[in-house]
Amino acid sequence: MLSPDAGLPVRVEGVEVQDPILTLFGEGWSLTIACPWEGAVAGRPLSWEADDIEDWVWDLVGGTLDAVRQEGSAVRFSFSTGTLIATPDTDLDPWVLKLPSGLVVGRMT
């Protein structure tokens, strides 16, 4: 089984928001979150329901994704400039982390 931390850190080079789906990506990797999430970016609280998501998630660009940790039913994605906590509400690929070393697909626990 691939560890979600295998191949980290990776540099965030872009973001895409297609409400409610958030995708972050860089060279050879991507993270897509298609379930409810919340966190803080550049010190500002943010959630998937915010009207200005795209304005704030751009603050992750240029930073790195440093760690992925399971926290009960949620998963914490720790970035150098913030944290996103995804709470899966379905087993149908709530989040997908593609790394050069493999693929990690989230699920409800």
In a domain, 96, yes or no: yes
pTM: 0.90
pLDDT of res. 1: 42
In a domain, 3, yes or no: no
Domain that holds residue 82: 10-105
The residue with greater pLDDT, 80 or 20, is 80
Cα→Cα distances 39→1, 11, 30, 58, 101, Å: 27, 19, 19, 14, 27
**Domain total for the chain?**
1
- Dihedral sign from CA coordinates of 69, 71, 73, 78: negative
73-100 average pLDDT score? 91
> Helix, strand or coil for residue 16?
strand
Is it the case that residue 9 has pLDDT exceeding 90?
yes
Lowest-confidence region among 38-42, 50-54, 80-84? 50-54
**How many alpha carbons lie under 13 Å from residue 104 in its C-beta half-sphere?**
22
pLDDT confidence bin for 19, thresholds 50/70/90: confident
- d(CA 56, CA 99) in angstroms, rounded, equals 24
In a domain, 5, yes or no: no
